[in-house]
């Protein structure tokens, strides 16, 4: 598979000290990748360098072979954190979704027929077609996430970037969002999302990038969920519990100790770093 | 002659009615963006800043619009730059720029006592003295602003709703920010004679807030706010004529009364059953308390 996203020796950030350093990375088309790291590790900066909104200090980023040269030039759909949305803003679902074509749908203030048709297709596909005329606040958490996903899909891009799509949502919404992203990925959309949720999100994704200003590791969860790699990612001792073949991380060592003493059952193996 | 047609026999009243209706509609339209971009304080400050330029123009005998326009343009750019800096709070920095400019105008005025009447007019608005030149400029500004809002509607909506994300979709946010600062400066300058420095902010804020109480759709808010602005401008001038009250104050008081009515409708709606499952009530106002703080 060819690389859809390529970072070559990238240093980026607003301050003199870059927020991400020496990032060299290829993400193949069709991948579903989670960028994992603690607060301040540069996850959002990594996404924003891809979007061209954070200046590169060194290096080069290409998407589909074309160099990223500034904001708005990236052919990617972007879904921001829901916490940044002003839910009281007077705007309906269809008004938000049509923003995805703000720069490509002509000079007139109303949408073209093809944009409206595309919007209805996407809303139906995401299961929120009946809510087009509703105010964005009048939806459930999962539906709200779908609205912003729909706006990103209006760009008809094969690359989707999501900043913490599961933060601040309940468990049912989180699962709903991840399943939906899985469906889109199976349709050929490359997905890159950031997350700090180790067990609830990262452990279920096909690929993980562990980031702590630099790339610590990139691979499948079974390869990168090791005490050594997670310890370097989070700058803290991390315990990994292998339970029925699945790797789970005990972020609190005392929790791991507690787990060790319980009759959880199944095959259990705990690795830890000192 | 009837109550309605009697004032129309005076040329100054015909001018004032057209000017107030156009200015009211313009402020109502631009005010939607001002309120939703949380720029009410900037609008309030800029009207004070422009006052300094207006007085300088008056003292030097230069064209009001040229001097106030240039002054407003520089203030707008300064405010735009200042709000991007993080080490000083934007509100504090805007306060320094705009009140210093206002104080400069007051200092100049206080040196010449014969300015008192004009001083009152500049502060609170006056329906006398709207010339043909004023009317032409107001009309031209309204046309230009309507064209800009029409053709930049989608980009302005995106950047107002989601200023962080809009650039990633290709919306030229820096250009639009500068353009918007100029739009605001132009709106304030053409409104200053009829509304008065101290009351322009209210005509920018109240119509959008009334519209927000009545609908959840951005497009409808834009239309309703423009309509309410124009209506309060038109009716305010009549009341001003009959009650002998400053035009700016009358228009703002009328708008405030409409706000109370809209608020009452909004409260009553909360207790009525919702008509259908796909509709929900508007009315959570997307403005901060200070947006309504009109001095």
- Substitution target from A68, A78, A91 for chain B, most B beta carbons within 10 A: A91
CB A152 within 8 A of CB A77: yes
- Substitution target from B37, B149, B154, B225 for chain A, most A beta carbons within 10 A: B154
Query: What is the reported pLDDT for A215?
Result: 92
Residue at token pair 């969920």: A225
Residue A192, pLDDT > 80, answer: yes
Query: What is the reported pLDDT for B22?
Result: 94
Q: Do A135 and B221 touch (CB under 8 A)?
A: no
CB A30 within 8 A of CB A1: yes
Residue at token pair 């390869």: A223
Please give the average per-residue pLDDT across A31-46, as a whole number. Answer: 90
Query: What is the reported pLDDT for A258?
Result: 58
- The CA distance from B169 to B173, in Å, is 10
Tell me how many helices (H) and strands (E) chain B has. 11, 0
- State the complex-level ipTM: 0.83
User: Looking at the partner chain, which of A51, A102, A155 has a beta carbon nearest the beta carbon of B158?
Assistant: A102
pLDDT band at A257 (very low <50, low <70, confident <90, very high): low
- The CA distance from A253 to A159, in Å, is 37
Q: Do B280 and A100 touch (CB under 8 A)?
A: no
Alpha-helix residue ranges (DSSP H) falling in chain A: 43-51, 93-98, 113-125, 141-153, 171-186, 221-224, 227-234, 253-260
Residue of A nearest to B35 (CA): A89
- Substitution target from B169, B209, B276 for chain A, most A beta carbons within 10 A: B169
Query: What is the reported pLDDT for A265?
Result: 45
pLDDT band at A197 (very low <50, low <70, confident <90, very high): confident
- Look up residue A271 and give its DSSP letter: E
- Look up residue A92 and give its DSSP letter: B
Residue at token pair 């509609």: B25
Query: What is the reported pLDDT for B108?
Result: 80
Residue of A nearest to B215 (CA): A90
User: Looking at the partner chain, which of A53, A89, A109 has a beta carbon nearest the beta carbon of B161?
Assistant: A89
Q: Do A155 and B171 touch (CB under 8 A)?
A: no
Q: Chain A residues contacting B, CB < 8 Å?
A: 51-53, 71-74, 78, 80, 84-86, 88-92, 95-96, 98-105, 107-109, 130-131, 133-135, 137-138, 155
Residue A4, phi then psi, degrees to nearest 5: -85, -30
Query: What is the reported pLDDT for A151?
Result: 94
Overall pTM > 0.90: no
Residues A131-182: tens digit of each pLDDT: 999 999 989 888 898 999 999 999 888 899 999 888 877 888 888 888 889 9
Query: What is the reported pLDDT for B291?
Result: 39
DSSP three-state, residue B109: helix
DSSP notation for B15-56: HHHHHHHHHHHHHHHHHHHHHHTT-HHHHHHHHHHHHHHHHH
Query: What is the reported pLDDT for A163?
Result: 92
Query: What is the reported pLDDT for B280?
Result: 57
Q: Which residues sit opposite A20 in a β-bridge? A: A12
Query: What is the reported pLDDT for A254?
Result: 59
Least Cα separation, residue B117 to chain A (angstroms): 42
CB A208 within 8 A of CB A220: yes
The residues of chain B scoring below 70 in pLDDT are: 1, 80, 83-90, 112-121, 127, 273-295
Residues A52-87: tens digit of each pLDDT: 888 888 999 988 888 887 777 777 899 998 888 989
Distance of CA B127 to the CA centre of its chain: 17
Residues 6+ apart with CB under 8 A from A53: A71, B167, B168
Expressed in angstroms, the distance from the first to the final Cα of chain B is 38
Residue B109, phi then psi, degrees to nearest 5: -65, -40
Query: What is the reported pLDDT for B277?
Result: 41
Residue of A nearest to B158 (CA): A99
């Amino acid at each position: 598979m060819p690389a859809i996203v390529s970072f070559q020796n990238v240093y980026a950030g607003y301050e003199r000290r870059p927020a991400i350093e020496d990032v060299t990375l290829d993400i193949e088309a069709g991948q579903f990748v989670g960028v994992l790291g603690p607060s301040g590790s540069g996850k959002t900066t990594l996404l924003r360098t891809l979007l061209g909104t954070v200046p590169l200090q060194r290096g080069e980023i290409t998407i589909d072979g074309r160099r990223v040269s500034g904001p708005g030039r990236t052919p990617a759909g972007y879904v921001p954190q829901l916490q940044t949305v002003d839910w009281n803003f007077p705007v309906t679902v269809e008004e938000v979704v049509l923003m995805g074509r703000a720069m490509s749908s002509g000079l007139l203030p109303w949408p073209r027929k093809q944009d409206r048709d595309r919007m209805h297709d996407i809303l139906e596909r995401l299961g929120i077609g009946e809510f087009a005329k509703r105010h964005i606040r009048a939806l459930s958490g999962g539906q709200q996430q779908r609205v912003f996903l729909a706006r990103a899909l209006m760009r008809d891009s094969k690359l989707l970037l999501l900043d913490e799509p599961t933060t601040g949502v309940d468990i049912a919404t989180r699962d709903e969002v991840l399943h939906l992203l899985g469906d889109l990925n199976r349709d050929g959309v490359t997905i890159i999302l950031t997350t700090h949720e180790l067990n609830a999100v990262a452990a279920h994704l096909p690929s993980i990038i562990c980031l702590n200003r630099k790339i610590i590791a990139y691979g499948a969860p079974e390869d990168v969920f090791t005490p050594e790699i997670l310890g370097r990612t989070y700058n803290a001792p991390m315990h990994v519990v292998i339970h029925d073949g699945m790797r789970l991380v005990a972020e609190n060592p005392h929790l791991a100790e507690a787990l060790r003493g319980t009759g959880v059952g199944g095959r259990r193996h705990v690795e830890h770093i000192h | 002659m009837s109550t309605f047609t009697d004032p129309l026999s005076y040329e100054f009243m015909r001018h004032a009615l057209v000017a107030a209706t156009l200015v009211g509609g313009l402020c109502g339209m631009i005010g939607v963006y001002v309120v939703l971009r949380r720029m009410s304080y900037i609008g309030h400050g800029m009207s004070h800043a422009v006052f300094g330029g207006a007085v300088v123009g008056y003292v030097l005998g230069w064209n009001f619009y040229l001097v106030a326009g240039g002054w407003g343009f520089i203030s707008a750019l300064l405010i735009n730059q200042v709000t991007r800096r993080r080490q000083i709070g934007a509100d504090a920095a805007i306060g320094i720029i705009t009140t210093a400019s206002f104080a400069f105008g007051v200092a100049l005025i206080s040196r010449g006592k014969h300015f008192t009447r004009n001083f009152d007019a500049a502060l609170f608005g006056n329906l006398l003295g709207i010339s043909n030149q004023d009317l032409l400029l107001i009309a031209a500004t309204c046309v230009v602003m309507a064209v800009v809002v029409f053709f930049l509607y989608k980009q302005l909506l995106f950047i107002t709703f989601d200023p962080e994300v809009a650039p990633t979709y290709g919306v030229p946010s820096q250009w639009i920010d500068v353009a918007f600062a100029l739009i605001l400066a132009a709106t304030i300058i053409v409104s200053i004679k009829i509304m008065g420095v101290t009351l322009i902010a209210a005509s920018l804020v109240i119509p959008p807030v009334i519209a927000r109480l009545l609908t959840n759709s951005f497009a409808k808010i834009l239309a309703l706010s423009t309509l309410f602005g124009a209506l309060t401008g038109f009716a305010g001038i009549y009341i001003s004529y009959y009650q002998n009250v400053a035009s700016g104050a009358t228009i703002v008081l009328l708008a405030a009364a409409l706000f109370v009515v809209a608020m009452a409708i909004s409260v009553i709606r909360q207790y009525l059953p919702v008509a259908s499952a796909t509709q929900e009530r508007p009315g959570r106002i997307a403005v901060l308390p200070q947006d309504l703080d009109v001095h």
